[in-house]
Amino acid sequence: MSFEKYEKGDAQSGPSIRINQRDSNSEPDAVSTFVTLKSALGSTVTVYLHGAHVTSFKDADGQELFFLSEKSYFKKSESIRGGIPICWPQFADEGPLPMHGICHSTEWTIKETSISGNHPRIVFTLDDSQETRNIWPHSFHLQYTVEIVEGEGNKERLRLSLDVENKGDADFSWTAALHTYYHVNSLRQTSVSGLKGKTFIDKTKKKEKFEEKNDHVTFQSETDKIFVCGASDDVIISDASDDQIRYKLHFEGWRDVVMWNPWVEKAKEIPDFVPSEYDKMLCLEATQLTEPVKLSKGNKWSGLYTIGRA
């Protein structure tokens, strides 16, 4: 497959899949190869091979659902700040591995592309290597499927499937997240519904546990919460300042939901982030954290995450 010339479908009049090269100004560490999926209705998804990282999802009306920092690094040694980093086999600093594990800054391989009716689909894979085994001594196979699918009415959705397989002889355990950065117009006017009655761990309060008692979670300070079994229902993100920003999230297989925003002071400490951008983003993440997954030889796990306008 030629990364410079590959295209499937008709980008002008129908669904298509195209592999592109980002202008890297000849920087040796620059991330360059990305894939654009386009549906017949005009929804588009951008995915970089670096980390199999989704950086953009625009619906057929051109509405961008994801946040991407103006200062994001596009370097092979770094994760991209925004979109959907894949955190595996460790979420955050919840263990001995580097922050968010090993696959968010690793080049993935395109396994296959396809177009079914009006909708494109691409499958990425990542297998263990000497480099990954130097950090985490296990044999694995990851498969990540990115596709645009039909939603309610003409509102198409992005569907993400992560499959994990133990290819070695020894059992291993892992945690993970699809660390999704959503675009909002004003975080102070944004709310999240669908989590009432859920238990959450508040990392800003020494990991104390609370029950969410509000129909709508709002934001007035730094937020870092783990909703235990929070992924059992659909979750809605709404921004009162912009009626176009109303997102519906659906989870299958994922146990938890992480909600994160650095707020004013911590935003100043993030090197690949413009401090004022804290008010333009909210992370709501499909997560497997409070019960790590244990896989024995040959066993598999699958998680599904579907995103679209409500």
Active-site positions read: 179, 285
SS3 78: coil
- Nearest CA to 262 out of 248, 246, 244, 280 is that of 280
Q: Where do we find the tokens 């620059």?
A: 30
Alpha carbons 186 and 71: distance in angstroms, whole number: 19
Phi (first) and psi of residue 218, to 5 degrees: -120, 175
Residues paired with 21 in a beta bridge: 33
CA distances from 257 to 179, 214, 246, 281, 283 (A): 10, 16, 18, 16, 10
CB 87 within 8 A of CB 95: no
